[in-house]
């Protein structure tokens, strides 16, 4: 049943499911241990990105399957704040004063249909890679964490606000 499978965003997969997809590479029951977590608690896991776009590049994922940033609602605010707090702590500890970024890609620019927060310690590995992590064109493809939290606080959801 394709609606429950975590697929690349190039396949138009719009059905929202509260259940864990059958083959989501980020869901705990299917996650392959290609990298070791640098942090884990009862709600989230942080691990290095296997294809880093910056000097250091981590992903923060919730243990519960959520499709993407646009599928979040007001009740997800505590989880989003926890992701931001843990991300900020890791970036502060490892950045040594270097510039940092935290944010989400938006459909159709997501590569995995499981919510994941990018933590970047700059510089980028190549100059052109920064384009994918800039909130250009009114947050159409990249949404910084602080903007995501503000939108959920103000409007109770993100997808209808853009």
Map residue 8 onto helix, strand or coil: coil
How far apart CA 40 and CA 23 sit, in angstroms, is 21
Q: Name the phi and psi angles at 5, rounded to 5.
A: -105, 135
Q: Is 13 a catalytic residue?
A: no
How far apart CA 85 and CA 81 sit, in angstroms, is 6
How far apart CA 152 and CA 149 sit, in angstroms, is 5
Burial bucket for residue 19 (CB in 10 Å: 0-12, 13-18, 19+)? exposed
- Check 13, 65, 116, 118 and give the catalytic one: 118
Catalytic residue annotation: 118
């Amino acid at each position: 049943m394709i609606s429950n499978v975590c697929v690349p965003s190039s396949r138009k997969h719009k059905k929202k499911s509260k259940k864990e997809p059958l083959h989501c590479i980020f869901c705990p029951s299917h996650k392959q241990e290609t990298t070791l977590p640098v942090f884990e608690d009862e709600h989230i896991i942080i691990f290095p990105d296997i294809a880093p776009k910056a000097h250091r590049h981590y992903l923060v994922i919730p243990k519960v399957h959520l499709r993407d940033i646009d599928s979040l609602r007001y009740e997800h605010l505590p989880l989003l704040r926890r992701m931001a707090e843990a991300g900020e702590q890791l970036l502060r500890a490892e950045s040594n004063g270097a510039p940092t970024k935290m944010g989400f890609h938006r459909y159709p620019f997501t590569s995995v249909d499981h919510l994941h927060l990018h933590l970047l310690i700059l510089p980028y590995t190549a100059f052109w890679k920064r384009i994918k992590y800039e909130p250009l064109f009114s947050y159409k493809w990249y949404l910084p964490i602080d903007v995501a939290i503000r939108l959920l606080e103000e409007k109770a959801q993100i997808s209808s606000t853009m």
